[in-house]
Structure 1
Amino acid sequence: MSPDALLVVFAGLLGLLVGSFSNVLIWRLPRGENVAFPPSHCPHCDHRLGVRDLVPLLSWLSLGGKCRYCRAPIKARYPVVEALTGLGYALIAALFPVLTYGWGTLGLMVLFTILLVSSAIDLDTYTIPDELTLPGVALGLLFAAVAQAGNNPVLVSFPGAVQGALLGAGLLVTINNVGAWVLRRFRERSWPELPIGYQQISLGLLAGAWLGPWWGAGVGLLSALVNALARRVVRVPEWLTLGGLLLSLLLGSAGYGPGLLEMLRGALAAAGAVALACGVYWWLHWRRHREDDGAAEDDQADAQAMGFGDVKLAAVIGAFLGWERLLLTLVVAVFAGALVGVVQLAMKSENRIKFGPFLALGALVALFWGGQIIAAYKGMLGL
């Protein structure tokens, strides 16, 4: 057996073990529990699980899908997650050999785990924990930097990872902002966030279109600083920011300013930077107040005030895969979501699936087959 084939087998075994830990994350993260302590135990009888209860796949099969101690049923999701992770890791190791790409291959395995765990939690709770997405963005940038330093980037360089993360977050949050504005019939938000929120993201959009991503992000964050110093929301009306963005893009398409594509790139990247800053602020704020007895009196203590888990998940995908595969991810996600929606409508089903699992599906398609799809598309365009 060749070294690469042997590493594929080892990757599959590693995936089984990581899949077992992924089940811990799926159960504990939404509940705010420590992922390391206490040790694994049955959620029904609370009996601590032994080594023979924790062998991936085999323990569930040997126990007939029931707890050894109380005979309560164990969800089939546990072996499914373990098997999917094992297969996913093996496929990644086969397509991106460890001996060739080194740390980059490990980074793609981390991305696979984030996508799988996020999807499972989103299906259960309709949320995607910040504990997965925000560190996930940082890990994507870190793996890209390490791989580039070793002269063997897998899919994207470090600058490409930064651009992918910002455009991923920026594109989804822009759709959210503009869509919400239209649905409100162009009325202002009743309860803007203090000190940083959607108003600052919209301001970053407008400023980024004319000043570029970093100056645009700076303008949005400066607005947040003004709010913090004033201890109140200093309103920036959306007719000015979002309306100004649409007008700016019209001017850009007519040849004014930096040009349409450059303005769009600057606006989305600036909005993405501000959105990620919002995400970090509200995550830390929520963690600080979650254990505060007086949190109920704090009208800003609700972490969901700046949730948008899909936005942060898109940033993770962009950081690992780059902007081209990110766009493919979104196309696949929208198509898959629309297809499932049509099927549910035909079946008159009221079950709703959040966008996170569709994003994960699109990211996997982009990861495993994105190179061929993008090359074929460019060939059609003669690029």
Structure 2
Amino acid sequence: MSPDLLFVVFAGVLGLLVGSFSNVLIYRLPRGENVAFPPSHCPACDHRLSPRDLVPVGSWLSLGGKCRYCRAPIKARYPVVELLTGLGYAVIAALYPFALYGGATLGLCVLLTLLLVASAIDLDTSTIPDELTLPGVALGVGFSVLNARSGAVEGLGLPTPAEAVQGALLGAGLLVTIDLIGSWVLRRFRERRSPETPIGYQQIALALLVGAWLGPWWGVGAALASAGVNLAARRVVRVPELLTLGGLLVSVGLGGSGFGPGLIVMVQGALAAGGAVALLAGAYWWLRPELEGEDDAPYDPSAMGFGDVKLAAVIGAFLGWERLLVAVMVAVFAGALLGLVQVALKRENRLKFGPYLALGAVVALVWGGAVVESYQALLGL
């Protein structure tokens, strides 16, 4: 057996084991449970599972999909996640041999795990935990250092550290802009009834507007200044969306007509500033203590979950902004097509976009480079 084939087999076995741990994350993270303690146990009878109960795929098959001790049914999702992870790791190892790409191959396996876990949790709970996405952004930037050392930047088209940061910011910025404008439309252009304090969507919208005209750093600075005013006043000092989002739309129109820094520069500046503030706001709300009475706040319609914004940042950090755009386009197309089927069959009115983003990221990982090259050739770049 050749070393490359041996590594593919090893990667597949490793994927099965990681898939088993992924099931732990899928079950425990939404419940706020420790992922390491207590040891694995049946959620129905609480009996501790022995090693023979934890063999990936094999245990589920041998037990007929039921607990050994209480005969409670075990979801088919468990072997599916394990099989998908094992198969995914093996495919990554075959396409991107570790001997050539080293740590970059490992980084792509980590991305696949994050995407699978996030998708499964989103399907179950309509949420994507910050414990996955925010550290995932940092991991994507960290693995970009290994990309440059292993030659994956040239061989795979994976991002350098600067490009990984850019990809994360533009990913978060693109999705949060869609969310902000879509939510504004759903509210029929009315202001939010329950704006966040000290930092939230209003500051993100302000960063988008200022970033479009003055660049990302000024956009972030304006948002932080607004958050500082909220802290000093100990209340929300409103920044009207008619000014920020309306001004952003007018600004883009002016940029497309030749005014200001130019359309491309304005869009890049706005998205980078908005993405940076979105990630800062996400980190703040993740780490802050819960405030009492939040559940009584008035409901504001939302076009997209904030977890999707942070998942897009993860994809951008691992794959770079060009493949991120491929992932988003695939996700939008798949979401529009399959979402209609989902709504028709289940009569659901809320699309869980995380799995579609994950699907888009897998497509971008495998074929994104060819898509980008074809598009550049079409434009003569």
For the criterion TM > 0.5, the same-fold answer is yes
What's the counterpart of residue 324 of structure 2? Answer: 326
Match of 2:230 among 227, 231, 240: 227
Distance across 1 between alignment mates of 2:249 and 2:292:
39
TM-score (norm 2): 0.93
What's the counterpart of residue 377 of structure 1? Answer: 375
Deviation (angstroms), 1:276: 0.4
Distance across 2 between alignment mates of 1:273 and 1:117:
24
Deviation (angstroms), 1:115: 0.4
8 Å CA contact 1:169, 1:272 repeated in 2: yes
Distance across 1 between alignment mates of 2:66 and 2:251:
61
Worse overlay, 152-161 or 359-368: 152-161
Deviation (angstroms), 1:300: 9.9
Distance across 2 between alignment mates of 1:142 and 1:301:
38
Give runs of aligned pairs for residues 102-141 of structure 1, distance below 5 A. 102-141=102-141
8 Å CA contact 1:123, 1:353 repeated in 2: no
8 Å CA contact 1:164, 1:319 repeated in 2: yes
Deviation (angstroms), 1:378: 2.7
**Identity, % of aligned pairs?**
71
Deviation (angstroms), 1:146: 3.2
* Unaligned segments of structure 1, at least 5 residues: 290-294
What is the count of residue pairs matched by the alignment? Answer: 374
SS in 1 for 2:292: helix
Deviation (angstroms), 1:348: 4.7
Is it true that 1:142 corresponds to 2:142 in the alignment? yes
SS in 1 for 2:320: helix
Distance across 1 between alignment mates of 2:242 and 2:351:
32
Deviation (angstroms), 1:94: 1.0
SS in 1 for 2:38: coil
Match of 1:240 among 224, 232, 243: 243
What's the counterpart of residue 284 of structure 2? Answer: 281
Is it true that 1:296 corresponds to 2:292 in the alignment? yes
| Structure 1 vs Structure 2 CA RMSD | 2.1
What's the counterpart of residue 346 of structure 2? Answer: 349
Alpha-carbon distance change, 179 to 141 in structure 1, aligned in 2, over 3 angstroms: same
Match of 1:310 among 287, 303, 308: 308
* Unaligned segments of structure 2, at least 5 residues: none
Give runs of aligned pairs for residues 173-252 of structure 1, distance below 5 A. 173-252=176-255
Distance across 2 between alignment mates of 1:342 and 1:120:
20
TM-score (norm 1): 0.93
**Which deviations, in whole Å up to 9, do the C-alpha atoms of 1:295-345 show, x marking residues without a partner?**
53467999x999610000000000001111111111111111111133345
Alpha-carbon distance change, 299 to 60 in structure 1, aligned in 2, over 3 angstroms: closer
SS in 2 for 1:55: coil
Distance across 2 between alignment mates of 1:170 and 1:381:
25
Distance across 1 between alignment mates of 2:105 and 2:54:
26
8 Å CA contact 1:279, 1:307 repeated in 2: no
Question: Given residue 258 of structure 1, which amino acid in structure 2 is its aligned partner?
Answer: P
